[in-house]
Amino acid sequence: MKQSLPLPAKKMRRRRRRQVIALVICLLLVAPAISYARALLYPGSASFAVRTVEWVRDHGGGGVIDAVETWKYSRQAPPASGSPHDMPTVQQPTPIAGQSVGLPRVRTLRGVGALPHEGAWSSARTDAGGRTLVWTTWFRPDPAHLPVTAAAALLPQATDALRLMPGTREPVVGMASKNGYSIPSDARSNLVAAFNAGFKMADSHGGWWTTDSPAVPLVDGRASVVVYRNGTARIGEWNRNVSMTPDVVAVRQNLDMVVTGGRLVDGLTQNAQGRWGSVRSQFQYTWRSGLGTDAKGDLIYVAGQGLTLASLASAMQQTGIQQGMELDIHAAMVSFTIQQPGAGGSLVSKQLLPSMTSPTDRYLVDDQRDFFYVVTR
């Protein structure tokens, strides 16, 4: 007959079992805890919330984050009527004789009376000689949600030069950069503007390339900002209407085109196969941004809050964009600052829209995300 263990011995065995289980759980949590701590402390400007969300995405939680964002933002539809809720920093049109000729006409909504100054271009930044380096305007892009406004900034390629910069984590973590991860100090005296690039590379479906670093392989057919040696840029589908030449110095890809030949691309309201992010992301009413070129080849940046994928594309088309692509989305990512020289070599910065939440010096310090900046040519 088998003897049972004394009661104290049974308690000791259960205690040891619990201690082993607790030790195993602790060991399993150590690696994620260290990884998360590193993400929170990693160099480069980014909020606690952004660092946390991106850590979850990087560790297999992208589907969960996408589901939460879609649930949240798709239920925050703006009201159907009312006054515009977001007016740009520069509201009054101040055309300069001779310079406003040739600017694209901004189409306001049909059947909706235009508000004062809606769709009128304003000179938002000039050089010492009086040439306009940034034109801005605002307008309403969504007839179903009239309080929603979008703003646009036009960057004349005859006067402005575009540059692409890496961040400390994008396009790849720890990428070496001879010019650092903020706007280089030697470019600040000629600085005109700075703005966000596209999605994280893992979500962009595309690549990232400069003459200094072919960080992520380029993908045929993807929407691409192609920067040339003289600072001009073109936007198009890679290896279809833009491609590698000896003059190319940078390429930033992000998803598929949204405007081609001045027309909206088919499928924007369905987003089949996730051509523009997670399959249902087109229904999110959130901050969105895009970049395109008009008939003259000038760059136009468009942004606003409360936009869906389709209303962003419509806004881009309204400004006269002929070839256009979506850039990044959500409040923490969408940022366009106009930079003006101040006293003693300082910079006076202002956001394109006052409700943009990023600090105006965002790209003057190291940032985790890659970005574009503009200098005078």
- pLDDT of 35: 79
What digits encode the pLDDT tens for the residues 233-262? 999 999 999 999 999 999 999 999 999 999
* Inter-residue contact 253 to 207 (CB < 8 Å): yes
Model confidence at 371: pLDDT above 90: yes
**Span 210-217, mean pLDDT?**
95
What digits encode the pLDDT tens for the residues 33-81? 787 788 788 788 888 888 887 878 887 778 887 888 877 877 788 899 9
Place of tokens 């289980």: 21
What is the model's pTM?
0.89
Model confidence at 99, in pLDDT bands (50, 70, 90)?
low
Strands 263-264 and 248-253: unpaired
Tell me the percentage of the chain whose pLDDT exceeds 90: 64
- By mean pLDDT, which of 161-175, 208-222, 341-355, 358-372 is the weakest? 341-355
What digits encode the pLDDT tens for the residues 199-208? 999 999 999 9
* Inter-residue contact 206 to 224 (CB < 8 Å): yes
- pLDDT of 316: 98
Model confidence at 177: pLDDT above 60: yes
